């Protein structure tokens, strides 16, 4: 049994996934990554109801500073050991039209959505390649279809899809499988910024996306890596 690193565990899909994984027993330890300590503690408390004491540990980091990730991953390996899975779930958006998108906003979106997953993957692979493992990146349907006004977010998620597909082949020899999921409309804080007038109860819930993610990171799953898996909910009308 190995350590699973999950980013974005304070809320939304990250939180739902972390809590659901705690029930599955796939991993012995969980490194929980986020930047809001209060929210993270709530997620951790939920997980610990189902896990042996000491199975989870919080690591605070602002992903706007991806250059800090190598030190963080080294610390996780030293403290929990045997990194076997990485779930890049944290995301950021600042929807703007082209003419109102600042370089700072564009850069921040890319740092959180692209640079941070890249750095986590690069650093984790250094530890995972001896025994193999699983990497899962959360992209978005916004990365596949044009959405006016979502320039930075949509293009960053396209990059996540492409990175995942590229690394599937590159990391295969190590026995590392790379998954990519693209949820459609899902009731998260991030979605609220993209569609503030939408009723969250009418769309897909984080737990439904978490269910798919948990199925993919199941150690017995060997067939669904290397493709962009779209997660959409059929809604009764």
Partner 1 sequence: MKYTLLFLSGGSGSRMQNSVPKQYMLLAGKPVIMHILERVDQIEEIEDVVVVCAKEYEAAISLMINQYGIRKPVHFAPAGITRQGSVRNGLTLVNNENVIVHEAARPFVKVEDFKRLIAAKERNATFGLSIPFSVLKGHGCVEGLLERSELFNVQLPQKFETRLLKDVHERAVAENREFTEDASMIYYYHPDVPIKVCEGMDYDIKLTTRIDMLAGEQIYEDVFSRRK
List of residues contacting partner 1 (CB under 8 A): 126, 129-130, 166, 168-170, 172-173, 175, 225-226
CA distance 42 to 63: 20
Min dist CB 32 to partner 1, Å, is 25
Min dist CB 160 to partner 1, Å, is 18
Using the minimum distance from each CB to partner 1, give the nearer residue, 103 or 223.
223
Please identify which residue in the block is written with the tokens 């493709």. Answer: 227
Using the minimum distance from each CB to partner 1, give the nearer residue, 129 or 233.
129
Rg (CA), the chain: 17
Sign of CA dihedral 217, 219, 221, 222: positive
Helices assigned H by DSSP within 92-183: 103-110, 116-128, 151-170
Using the minimum distance from each CB to partner 1, give the nearer residue, 84 or 95.
84
Min dist CB 26 to partner 1, Å, is 20
Instruction: Give the chain's end-to-end CA distance (angstroms, integer).
Output: 44
- Six-digit token string for 124: 């984790």
CA distance 19 to 89: 14
Min dist CB 225 to partner 1, Å, is 8
Using the minimum distance from each CB to partner 1, give the nearer residue, 39 or 165.
165
CA angle 104–106–111, rounded 5-degree value: 90
- Please name every residue paired with 110 in a beta bridge, in sequence order, or none if there are none: none
Using the minimum distance from each CB to partner 1, give the nearer residue, 145 or 166.
166
């Amino acid at each position: 049994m190995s350590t699973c690193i999950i980013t974005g565990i304070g809320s939304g899909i990250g939180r739902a996934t972390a809590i659901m994984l705690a029930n599955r027993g796939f991993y012995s330890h969980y490194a929980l990554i986020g930047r809001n300590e209060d929210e993270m503690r709530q997620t951790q408390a939920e997980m610990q109801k189902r896990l042996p004491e000491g199975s989870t540990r919080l690591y605070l980091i602002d992903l706007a500073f991806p250059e800090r990730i190598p030190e963080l991953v080294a610390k996780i390996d030293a403290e929990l050991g045997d990194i076997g899975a990485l779930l890049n779930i944290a995301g950021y958006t600042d929807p703007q039209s082209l003419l109102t998108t600042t370089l700072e906003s564009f850069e921040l979106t890319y740092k959180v959505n692209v640079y941070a997953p890249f750095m986590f993957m690069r650093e984790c692979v250094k530890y995972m390649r001896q025994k193999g493992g699983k990497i899962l990146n959360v992209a978005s349907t916004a990365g596949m279809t044009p959405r006016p006004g979502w320039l930075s977010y949509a293009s960053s998620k396209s990059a996540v899809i492409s990175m995942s597909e590229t690394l599937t082949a590159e990391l295969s020899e190590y026995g590392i499988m790379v998954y990519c999921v693209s949820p459609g409309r899902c009731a998260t804080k991030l979605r609220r910024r993209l569609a503030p007038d939408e009723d969250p109860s009418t769309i897909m819930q984080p737990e439904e996306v978490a269910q798919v993610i948990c199925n993919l990171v199941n150690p017995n799953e060997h067939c669904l890596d290397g493709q962009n898996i779209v997660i959409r909910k059929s809604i009764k009308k």
